[in-house]
Amino acid sequence: MAALHANTMAAPAYWEQLEPQEGRFDFSNVDQIVEGARAHNLRLVLLWFGTWKNGNMHYVPSWVKADTKRFPRVIRPDGEPIDVLSPLSRNTLNADKAAFVSLVRHLKQIDGEQHTVILIQLENESGNIGSVRDNSAESNRQFAGPVPSDLLKVVHKQPGTWGEVFGGEADEMFQFYHQAKYINEIASTGKAEFPIPYYINVWLDYPAPELPQRQLDVPGIGYPSGGAVQKLVGLWRTMAPSIDMIGPDIYADDSQFYRETMRTYHRADNPLWIPETGRSDSFAKFFFYALGEGAIGFSPFGVDQSGWNILGDEAWKAHARNFALIAPMSREIAQLEFEGKLKIAVEEPGQTAQEVNFGQWQATVAFGFPQPDGRRAPGTKDAHAAALIAQLGPDEFLVTGVDASVSFHLPEKLPWIRSEIITAEQGSYENGEWKV
């Protein structure tokens, strides 16, 4: 992590490891993770792998998996069970909740003052893969009944059954509602014990061209049904108020899709946090887009898969370069983001320069090696350049970036008539102070 210049790590706590026997808890793995983060001067995002992991139940204890009567599975329309626990089961909810509460109580004991753990993720990409909703007898009974009034109020619909109110989307809406209620209850109970920010992450609904290996953008097949996908993020925020953030896991490197997704999840009621994204160098530029969108975090997935020598892995070099650039001034960047003073320019293929407007001033960002005599910037071979520009005062700017140059001019004048720079300093921030 030091080679990556990261300031925070994400690590899982597995239900099956935490509670191998019902009511008997083993916190040794959690203790080791917290101690390891402290030893390397890192903050920690703890991931609770409970009822759901990637639309399945991969990490629930064996005693839960074995007792299908007490902990019922989701049933497909053809009557076959799948490897997903039903969110309608009070037994399953109570068991997950009891394990999670034991975890956060322990965290409060070992970390209530030091605050190494700064975020907790509830479940992982929750929902069903294999069926849009549970088709058990109890689920079918509720599905044939009236839509709950709290949901009707939010969607502004007249009373009726799920099919009458939601038509072709009824199955997914039914799954979403019960899943959101389930996770919200775990979150609210956990917060009563250890009130730090809780969030969920989302396996997105990808249009087929963006991630063709996912094949179909259909709930239960292309993504876990019931999750907080793009069309449901607003309803999730309303129906699960104890969740502080909903973070998209973005694995498509198309710039338009990536930026649209960030804008969808960056809402007045939802800070932008990207808990997972691709680790290849094609995703590195989205770090700058995320900064420009006001993201509080950006987490490439799979650092544990790269072995000991991260910088020997080409996929990680670009991310390490970006993090190294920002690390010395991360607090300053966060403050500038919060104040709305930070703007970005990111190179895209075929685009060798961009204009960034600051009202009185216009900044021209040229990508690639600076050219003499006003010649057009060449761009970079793999379109990786970027610049961050922050206006510190009426005529004062902070500029940083990768393989980019920045010039300033007055918008009412021709772009090549540049204004005179009184002072230009090259330096860095050290403990909050600018050092030349």
Count other Cβ atoms within 10 Å, centred on residue 390: 22
Alpha helices in 12-159 (DSSP H): 15-18, 28-39, 62-66, 90-111, 137-143, 149-155
Distance, CA of 262 to CA of 276 (rounded, Å): 12
What is the pLDDT, as a whole number, of residue 411? 82
Q: At CA 253, angle to CA 252 and CA 257, rounded to 5?
A: 70
Is the distance from CB of 243 to CB of 228 less than 8 angstroms? no
Helices (H) and strands (E) in the chain — how many of each?
13, 17
Calculate the alpha carbon distances from 9 to 40, 194, 210, 255 in Å: 10, 20, 28, 26
Domain with CATH 2.60.220.20 in the chain: 344-435
What is the pLDDT, as a whole number, of residue 216? 64
- The residues facing 270 across adjacent strands are 267
What is the pLDDT, as a whole number, of residue 116? 98
What is the pLDDT, as a whole number, of residue 305? 60
Assign residue 167 a region (left: φ > 0; alpha: ψ between -120 and 50; beta: otherwise): left
Nearest CA to 121 among 50, 16, 227?
50
What is the pLDDT, as a whole number, of residue 371? 77
Assigned token pair, 426 = 């090259």
Calculate the alpha carbon distances from 146 to 58, 151, 152, 157, 390 in Å: 33, 11, 10, 12, 53
What is the pLDDT, as a whole number, of residue 283? 94
Is the distance from CB of 377 to CB of 367 less than 8 angstroms? yes
What is the pLDDT, as a whole number, of residue 227? 98
Assigned token pair, 176 = 């979403």
Count other Cβ atoms within 10 Å, centred on residue 123: 26
What is the pLDDT, as a whole number, of residue 218? 85
Beta strands 117-124; 43-53: pairing state = parallel
Assigned token pair, 57 = 């139940």
Which CATH number is associated with domain 8-243? 3.20.20.80
Question: CB burial class (10 A; 0-12, 13-18, 19+) of residue 374?
Answer: exposed
- pLDDT, one tens digit for every residue, the chain (436 residues): 777 889 999 999 999 999 999 999 999 999 999 999 999 999 999 999 999 999 999 999 999 999 999 999 999 999 999 999 999 999 999 999 999 999 999 999 999 999 999 999 999 999 999 999 999 999 999 999 999 999 999 999 999 999 999 999 999 999 999 999 999 999 999 999 999 999 999 999 998 666 665 556 789 999 999 999 999 999 999 999 999 999 999 999 999 999 999 999 999 999 999 999 999 889 999 999 999 999 999 999 987 665 545 556 677 888 999 999 999 999 999 999 999 999 999 999 999 999 999 998 999 999 998 877 667 788 999 899 999 999 999 999 999 999 999 989 888 776 666 678 889 999 988 888 888 8
What is the rounded end-to-end Cα distance, in angstroms, of the chain? 28
Domain with CATH 3.20.20.80 in the chain: 8-243
417: DSSP letter: S
What is the pLDDT, as a whole number, of residue 431? 81
Chain center to CA of 373: 44
CATH number of 344-435, picked from 1.10.10.10, 3.30.70.890, 2.60.220.20, 3.10.310.30: 2.60.220.20
244: DSSP letter: -
Count other Cβ atoms within 10 Å, centred on residue 404: 25
- SS3 call for 343: strand
Distance, CA of 128 to CA of 175 (rounded, Å): 8
What is the pLDDT, as a whole number, of residue 309? 57
What is the pLDDT, as a whole number, of residue 54? 96
What is the pLDDT, as a whole number, of residue 209? 65
The answer for residues whose C-beta is within 8 angstroms of residue 312's C-beta and 6 or more apart is: none
Question: CB burial class (10 A; 0-12, 13-18, 19+) of residue 388?
Answer: buried
Is the distance from CB of 229 to CB of 206 less than 8 angstroms? no
